[in-house]
Amino acid sequence: MEGRTRGSMSSSIGDSADLEANLTLSDRLKVFKSSGFDPDSYVTSKCQHMNEKEIRHLCSYLVELKKASAEEMRKSVYANYAAFIRTSKEISALEGQLLSMRNLLSAQAALVHGLADGVHISSLCADDADDLTDEVLYDIENKQLSSIENWVIEFFDRLEVLLAEKRVEEAMAALEEGRQVAAEANERRSLSPNALLSLNNAIREKRQELADQLAESICQPSTRAGELRSTVLALKKLGDGPRAHTLLLRSYEKRLQANIQSLRASNTSYGVAFAAALSQLVFSTIAQASSDSLAVVGEEEPAYSSELVTWSVKQAESFALLLKRHTLASSAAAGSLRVTAECIQLCSSHCSLLESRGLALAPVLLKHFRPCVEQALTGNLKRIEQSSAALAASDDWMLTYTPTGSRASSTAQIAPHLKLSVSAIRFNSMVQEFLEDAGPLDEVLQLDGVALDGVLQVFNAYVDLLINALPGSAETEENPVHRIVKVAETEAQQTALLANALLLADELIPRSASKILSSNTGQSTPSKDRQNRPEQREWKRKLQRSVDRLRDSFCRQHALELIFTEEGEVRLSSQMYIAMDEIVEEPEWFPSPIFQELFAKLTRIASIASDMFVGRERFATILLMRLMETVILWISDDQTFWEEIETGPKPLGPHGLQQFYLDMEFVMIFASQGRYLSRNLHQVIKNIIARAIEAVAATGLDPYRTLPEDEWFAEVAQIAIKMLTGKANFGGHVERDVTSPSVSSAKSYTSN
């Protein structure tokens, strides 16, 4: 029964604690804010039916509540620095006025009591002249006054000596003794009001003299740390706490300025070493001032805490401006991101040590450092662009193995599947160094967006260089003066341009940026989740779009080589089909030369791509698809071609239609065998064939009576592929001898 009662009591206490935990902090503190709060009754009500475990739970709960209350007080203080300082000064002034008013009232009260006592003594003398004569009263009073006056004279003589010899502790004890004697004399009325007032004024003057002496000692640069703390504490005990705290901070500020001047005089250069020494000096001084402030005034005075925070912010701003002027500005202007990063990292590490003391000064520093960092980032990115352009001017566009190490080439390892040209290797190295330098800054300044956007910018600039390296590219033709890259003459060199861009965008650059991307997600986040973040996916898509831009330029350049001659004349025109019907003899059925060249070009590029895009076969397939689509879409969209086919002056005839059909069938078959026939390309070819058939039908001929069966087109296309690849082997069968395609075509045609 007892166990059940105790269990229910524990559960009720636990439920009460959970209920209180769900309340806001202000609601949980209401019970303590009431004027009638009784601690004993509160503890008794909580602990009356509790066992030891429950009492311990309550104690831990009260400790947590105390910490939360202190944290709320600290936040309130930091949120209202200026208001707290202003209020503190107003309270100090008000206390001084109240003290003066109290002394004035005391003097007036003593005067009133003296007058009342004089009247009483006069009445006694008139009524009882036989009991006490005026002479006796005068002698007794004169004797008492003489004893106190002698003490007062000795007291002030002793106090003068103590003040002259700067014996602070003894002087403070003597002043306390004088205050007690004056209070006792006032209580016993052993001094006349004027004498008591004079005594109090004299003690107040000596107290002020001692306070001025202590203030002067605090301001002396020769005062040691221990002596400084004791002097400030003594001044606070004299009732001048705000002045003591202000002088303490002012003393540390003067010492800091003197030490900074010495440091600057001893340094010939303002590099990382200077930044480290200056940062150590400034933040250690702030830490020492914080410790002394806490030791002297404690945590109970919010005004002192606010003054300390304001003073610390001022010192941090002065430090940031000094470091910015002498170190960060010059390194940022030179694009030296590494020096800038090391300086800011050192400052941040020193600054973070103050957070345990309640001084969060990092935002102050970062406000001044961020423009320098952004300038250094911009300069570094510009240097990468310039270096890449210089290397591209002499690059032979031959792929070599890529070192996977970072700065130290001696520790670099060779990755067999990573091949880049010289300019791409150097570009990757510079980007990797840039991201390594920007990594520490990202932890402090959250620069992931700026740094990654910068990498995207320089990658786009490098892709522009690769596009300019293509022969006859639109960029170099429009701006021939800016041709600063070595032209990739061969197809292997041109495909190497794509390999450079693809490997950089698909693997190397994202790998280098992974540290920055993961640092913003948090170390506890799985790597797979970090890679699937929306902003990271979008950034990678932007890299891929730059690669697609280069790929489209590559396909356009090769398509133009097929479609146009060097003189600019169109090779793929309607006349090559219309003119076939002007010949009386039946033509030799074989794919047109331009499509034979297309097949040969795609075969060569596919072979080159199989070596360069190891592990990235999908990109090679898409490349061939895009090249095929570029040529076929040109035919589909060429209005001049179709106007001549459909309206003449001489429209397309049966032989021209059969040759056109054969060419399109040839394209579909070898693209299908190469696995780069897309659905879009297949549909476009079907639409083109249907449009050509309709053009012939519009002349009054029945195209289906003149066209062979589909098997004939497929057979001739397959024979052409074998012959073009050198794999044709028909033995001795005359029926299958396709050395002259007309043999097969005539047989197939007549069989229809």
Range 31-59 average pLDDT: 77
Instruction: Identify the pLDDT of residue 107.
Output: 66
DSSP 564: B
With 80 as the cut, is the pLDDT of residue 16 above it? no
Average pLDDT, the chain: 76
Range 525-538 average pLDDT: 60
DSSP 357: G
Range 56-66 average pLDDT: 82
Instruction: Identify the pLDDT of residue 149.
Output: 63
Judged by average pLDDT, the poorest of 293-302, 538-547, 554-563, 696-705 is 293-302
- pLDDT: which is higher, 580 or 407: 580
Q: How confident is the model at residue 125 (pLDDT cuts 50, 70, 90)?
A: very low
Instruction: Identify the pLDDT of residue 299.
Output: 61
Phi, psi (rounded to 5 degrees) for 419: -125, 130
Judged by average pLDDT, the poorest of 130-144, 160-174, 453-467 is 130-144
d(CA 145, CA 607): 123
Instruction: Identify the pLDDT of residue 589.
Output: 92
Q: Are 358 and 308 in contact (CB under 8 A)?
A: no
Q: Are 363 and 292 in contact (CB under 8 A)?
A: no
Q: How confident is the model at residue 260 (pLDDT cuts 50, 70, 90)?
A: confident
Phi, psi (rounded to 5 degrees) for 416: -60, -30
Instruction: Identify the pLDDT of residue 458.
Output: 94
Query: 648: helix, coil or strand?
Result: coil
Instruction: Identify the pLDDT of residue 672.
Output: 92
Phi, psi (rounded to 5 degrees) for 570: -80, 125
Range 301-319 average pLDDT: 83
Q: How confident is the model at residue 684 (pLDDT cuts 50, 70, 90)?
A: very high
- pLDDT: which is higher, 477 or 266: 266
420 bridge partner residues: 400
d(CA 243, CA 214): 11
Instruction: Identify the pLDDT of residue 308.
Output: 85
Q: How confident is the model at residue 397 (pLDDT cuts 50, 70, 90)?
A: very high
- pLDDT: which is higher, 187 or 684: 684
b/e string for 462-479 if b means 16 or more Cβ within 10 A? Answer: bbbbbbbbbeebebbeee
Burial-class residue 548 by CB neighbours within 10 Å (0-12, 13-18, 19+).
middle
Q: How many helices (H) and strands (E) does the chain have?
A: 31, 2
Instruction: Identify the pLDDT of residue 524.
Output: 41
DSSP letter for each residue of 589-646? ----HHHHHHHHHHHHHHHHHHHHSTT-HHHHHHHHHHHHHHHHHHHHH-HHHHHHHH
d(CA 283, CA 352): 10
Range 350-354 average pLDDT: 83
With 70 as the cut, is the pLDDT of residue 253 above it? yes
Range 627-652 average pLDDT: 89
Instruction: Identify the pLDDT of residue 446.
Output: 66
Question: Nearest to residue 214, comparing CAs of 306, 298, 296, 103?
Answer: 296
Name the most confidently modeled range: 36-50, 250-264, 508-522, 597-611. Answer: 597-611
pTM for the structure as a whole: 0.65
Q: What are the angstrom distances between the C-alpha of 435 and each of 429, 441, 509, 599?
A: 10, 10, 9, 44
Domain boundaries defined on the chain:
2-79, 85-219, 234-372, 393-563, 575-751
Judged by average pLDDT, the poorest of 78-92, 134-148, 540-554 is 134-148
d(CA 48, CA 51): 9
Q: What are the angstrom distances between the C-alpha of 612 and each of 49, 55, 394, 447?
A: 81, 74, 21, 35
